[in-house]
A and B are shown apart, each in its own frame.
Chain A
Amino acid sequence: MAPGFPAASALIARIRTDDPTRRMPLGGDPLTEEQMQLLEAWIAAGARFDSHWAYEKPTQPPLPPVSDAGWSRNPIDRFILNRLDKAGLEPSGPAEPAVLMRRLHLDLVGLPPSPDQIDGFLADPTEAAYRETVEELLASPQFGEHWARHWLDLGRYADSNGYHHDDLREVWPYRDWVIRAFNDDMPFDRFTIEQLAGDLIEEPSLDQLIATGFNRNTPMNGAGGSKVDEVRNGMLVDRMNTTATVWLGTTLGCAQCHTHKYDPFTIEEYYRFYAYFDTGVNETVLHGGGNTRKYYVGAKIDLPIAPARMSRYAATRAQHEFLKAVIDQAAIEAIADLAEWMEQQGANRDLRPIVTSALAKRPVDRTESDSNAIRDAFLETRPEIVEPRKELEQLAERMRALAPPTVLVMADKRGPVQSYVLERGQIGSRGKAVAPGTPAALHALDPALPRNRLGLAKWIASPENPLTARVTVNRLWAEVFGRGIVASGEDFGRQGDAPSHPGLLDWLAVEFVEKDWSVKNIIRLMVTSTAYRQSSRRSAKLLESDPGNQLLSAGPRFRLAAEAIRDAILSASGLLSLKMGGPPVHPPQPKGLWREISGVANPDYPTSTGEDRHRRGIYTIVRRGAPYPSLTTFDASPREACVAVRPRTNSPLQALTLLNDPANAEAASALANLVLGTAAKSDRERLVYAFRRAVTRAPTGVELQELRRLLDEFRGISESEAEAWTSLARILLNLDETITKS
């Protein structure tokens, strides 16, 4: 284009030509005369592009005027009410105290409150009491467990590699690190830098190394036939796309094969960004006869364990080594009898077919595995080998239980690494050599920063970055209000949704950076606003004039996340264990699911016992090849890739799960026992108590009448009070309101 001169611009020539092989859009209908003139006028006027709003650093706008200053409790309310005023809508009235308490508990700690927890507030629902509850919940250890969940979706945290074999991996200390970071209100810039480059910080602490598990969470293809360099490229692409989505809200991934069509990112810039990750050590190696499998060889570290456990571990290991040497020696001595044994096996039908066929071969035709099969079969007949082997297995099991846990971490190769543009994204098509660097359309890269991941992390967490703060506050907003101010939370580019409240987004982003990147500060602002405390009842008029509640003309109402549904049901029934942290747990699931994983090396699901059956959903093992069905049915991510916005579906399989999953039947029975065990003696008191455990508020008259009718009905067909109440409890745990934040 020649700005100012349409006639000299190739663009105009190409759209106006009569030659169909040259005319743009190629193969499409020509533009209309009107469209062409519009482009000409634009070029004549200088062909100016305005930079996209999200690539300009936010400034804090003045608070807008509102129709009712008394409604506003904090700046959030000014922006919300101003927008409602413009739309000619009125905000909704306040939510009733019990509904509000439930909403607040679910948003801050992810658990519904028990009746006793809120009775104090209900008796005296003042502003001061509300704020006191907010502070208590922000300080609760359950806060981090709730807020870590959305971050683990972004960081595609899982306890297995994914793909063929889907080997288990140990990276749960990273999950616990995220929980602690939210509980400690770690400043988000530090939170960012430690996850992206904790290993490159000078003398990193153990925690800073664990934090780099973020980018180790990438799935790993362990199939033997896949090529090591392709697997590595796939992992690097996942890391950089995830990093771009999580912090920049950009679809940089589009530039992997070609320059981005809508946003200002070239393919060269893509590979400059990629170069920051290209320095990582190799992580997979082929192994085994015929190269049938890959193993992880990237960095991992042992976590420190208590000295007493360490010495028991060392002692067990020594015993194991000693016994193994004893068995090996016994085997060598036994081999003297092997030839004689082989001669006697002609008619032995108990041998495995592989042994029989190996024995049938001439000695010169036997392969190594044939000989091994024969030798193993022989040794299995020798008591001096078989008995100590059992003991060896027990020792090995003890050793595994005592061994220090490990965690996967990031590490870079030593020495320089040269990266290249990969044309069309193909690893076989190396183009131009590139050095690490950041996209020119965003804020400048400080030349003083190191040219490695640490430099990248500091560039991302810089207050100059127009995106990080906006993208992050938007995500916190979406967790609380159900959708982001920018609804396409994963895309702030030109193809993303426009913000519903641009001023509010920028105000919050600046507030976030200025108040030391405090996540709790932003959450506190949201939950203490008047907008948050509105009733979520929506009249037909509101459904029509504010569909999707985009303008917040009512309080948020939406289904809970999968993990929160599990937690809410366990909590209502009194079964929930609040034990924190540690290795993932294995609550009961349908039999045999792990056996369905292809090439699986550990097919047995070790169902947890004791309180581990009833831990919070965040601790349930995430095996990518067979994720926990009751969670995925409610849209939990199988963690195959970064998920910025979880869908919220409503399906018959969800109904089947809540109705029939034995875990929920157990919860119903526990709730019934709880109700029958309370001091409450009248049916009415018991019904109210049970209802409140499920949905927090007390039942209305109509609801109570219905509950009584149902209780009578169940009494008519039950052999015991417990059976009747269990059926009633099943109903309560299946209510829409039980799995919803109202």
Chain B
Amino acid sequence: MDQHVVLKNVSRIYPGGPGRRPVQALAPLDLDLQKGEFFAVVGPSGCGKSTLLEVIAGLAPVSEGTVTFEGMPVEGRVPTGVGVVFQEDASFPWLTVEDNIAFGLRRASMDKREVSQRVEHAVAFMGLKAFARAYPAQLSGGMRQRVCIARTLVLQPRLILLDEPFGALDQQTRLLMGDELLRLWRATKATVLLITHALDEAAMLADRVGVMSSRPGRFIDIVATGWPRDRDSLIVARPEFGQITGHLWSLLREESIKALQGDR
């Protein structure tokens, strides 16, 4: 199994300004993502999870260290083959669901038939067929996130980064979306990095879970779940699930208290 994404000694410091001290979001940390694995990151709020994702995606620069994707360094721009699903709703309100999904492809000047083929496939895959011509304003939050995921999917990314994509959804919807995500992962054979604050979500979905400390964030531990590849949300019934979740919390509890006290 080769290493898909490698972070060595990476740190990120947000420069201060008048009246604001610089903030070190990421302590020097290392991370190796294996090709095709599902890796989740959990940590207390403010620990730098989102920063980590932005650094890997090339959306933010590092203050120290190197980030490599498929052997090439990542700096300043987003490498091809990387898809990102953000926490906020990023669907474009002025385009229909179909046009939203096709957006990235149209920019890449692809053959028209290929575009409509890929869009159709993504629409069907994400269960959006009935809403293809609707506008995002007419859809629920969960559906809009599916549009964002479909928009990423259509580019056939080899690395998919998700920043708390299901944060705004209720628990049942989240579990169902988790199933969708696993399906997506298996179908695309991509490497997936999921940022989440929900320990159970991480425990259920991931092959490995990285536990981050409070700010400045570094990895306290990486927990392997050992799940089979063809898993779904029903594994929450298994005893190992409870153990893993419990283990994650025992690692995280101290850090969370620290973060709470340091907040504001």
Q: Do A and B bind each other?
A: no
